Amino acid sequence: MPGFGHRLARYRIEAGAGFRLKHHDPADHGGVDPVAGAALLADGVARLSALQTLLYPQHAWALLCVFQGMDAAGKDGAIGHVMSGVNPQGVSVTSFQAPGPEELAHDFLWRVSRALPKRGQIGIFNRSHYEDVLVVRVHPELLERQHLPASLAGKHVWKHRLADIAAWELYLARQGIVLLKFFLHLSKDEQRRRLLARLDDPDKAWKFSAADLAERQYWDGYQRAYEKAIRATAAPHAPWYVVPADHKWFARLVVVEAMIAALEALGLHRPVIHPAQAEELAAARRLLADEDGR
């Protein structure tokens, strides 16, 4: 996307010191209009598909994309549109719901560790390990279900968890997992419009839950929790993208361009054919060609 790489940097957070969510406009569209944006998104999806064909056969790097956001922020839609052109064999998508008994019997990073992508894959987390410093922080009563020893569940638990996440993400980077974290930054007014649209559309009404309204009452608490999480865990090897989400088409464009930039930075190339392999391929070609003459 000509010229967008420079603009992409405005949404990328590599260092959390001084980060303030209020400095980021959910309605920003980067100076791109919807018509041009649609064309650029289609081009981006094609470019991402081409890069995936280089990532998959090398079995060295993996790309993990974490999606976080308030209800109706567009996580499902962004994932569906951006990944529409890739080979599903090279993608793993995990949606994390409220933890069940088995998950609650383990540490909070256990369930996400089990879902990490294989080398050569693109992994998608729809919600993630951050739920334990977002939802649980806004609703601290949920911490009781996690059976932490009383001495470890005090006022420092959030600081400790954020430090654990930062350390775990550094570990992933050192294992060849490229990590991108997307916070789909939605305004409260736009969430209201989208929730009303769900109620008014028979094809979308099923997506509405009374819990959506209940969580909306904690809007300010969630904004503070997101700000603290981004501030504590943004790093060059694990950047956050604060993606303006009031315009769905633009949010998808930012996501696909960030993924493209990350993969292009790896210097991916076609697998090298060694001389012995070349001889085997030549022999196979001769055999197949000879069949035509029989």
Q: Taking the CB of residue 106, how many other CB atoms lie within 10 A of it?
A: 14
Per cent of the chain over pLDDT 90 is 82
- Contact (Cβ atoms closer than 8 angstroms) between residue 198 and residue 107: no
Tell me phi and psi for residue 68, to 5 degrees: -130, 155
**Distance from C-alpha of 61 to C-alpha of 118, rounded to nearest angstrom:** 9
**Distance from C-alpha of 262 to C-alpha of 64, rounded to nearest angstrom:** 10
User: Measured in whole angstroms, how far is the alpha carbon of residue 32 from the centre of its chain?
Assistant: 23
What's the confidence (pLDDT) of residue 277?
A: 80
Best CA proximity match to 229, nearest among 23, 65, 64, 13? 13
Q: Is the pTM of this model over 0.85?
A: yes
- Contact (Cβ atoms closer than 8 angstroms) between residue 78 and residue 252: yes
The amino acid present at 8, given as its one-letter code, is L
Model confidence pLDDT, tens digit, residues 66-109: 999 999 999 999 999 999 999 999 999 999 999 999 999 999 99
What's the confidence (pLDDT) of residue 293?
A: 64
To the nearest 10 degrees (0 to 180), the angle between helices 248-264 and 34-58 is 30
Best CA proximity match to 284, nearest among 56, 53, 276, 58? 276
Best CA proximity match to 133, nearest among 169, 102, 79, 92? 169
Q: Indicate if the pLDDT at residue 2 is higher than 60.
A: no
Q: Indicate if the pLDDT at residue 58 is higher than 70.
A: yes
- Contact (Cβ atoms closer than 8 angstroms) between residue 181 and residue 241: yes
Model confidence pLDDT, tens digit, residues 234-281: 999 999 999 999 999 999 999 999 999 999 999 999 877 778 887 888
Least confident range of 140-144, 199-203, 204-208: 204-208
- Contact (Cβ atoms closer than 8 angstroms) between residue 58 and residue 120: yes
The two beta strands, 177-185 and 12-13, are unpaired
What's the confidence (pLDDT) of residue 107?
A: 97
Q: Is the dihedral of CA 228, 187, 15, 265 positive or negative?
A: positive
As a whole number, mean pLDDT of residues 191-200 equals: 94
What's the confidence (pLDDT) of residue 294?
A: 57
Higher pLDDT, 279 or 127: 127
What's the confidence (pLDDT) of residue 30?
A: 93
Q: Which long-range contacts (CB under 8 A, 24 or more apart) does 189-192 make?
A: 190/26, 190/27, 190/245, 190/246, 191/70, 191/71, 191/72, 191/73, 191/216
Token pair recorded at residue 6: 């420079």
Q: Indicate if the pLDDT at residue 208 is higher than 80.
A: no
Average pLDDT, the chain: 93
Per-residue pLDDT band for 1 (boundaries 50, 70, 90) equals very low
**Distance from C-alpha of 251 to C-alpha of 134, rounded to nearest angstrom:** 21
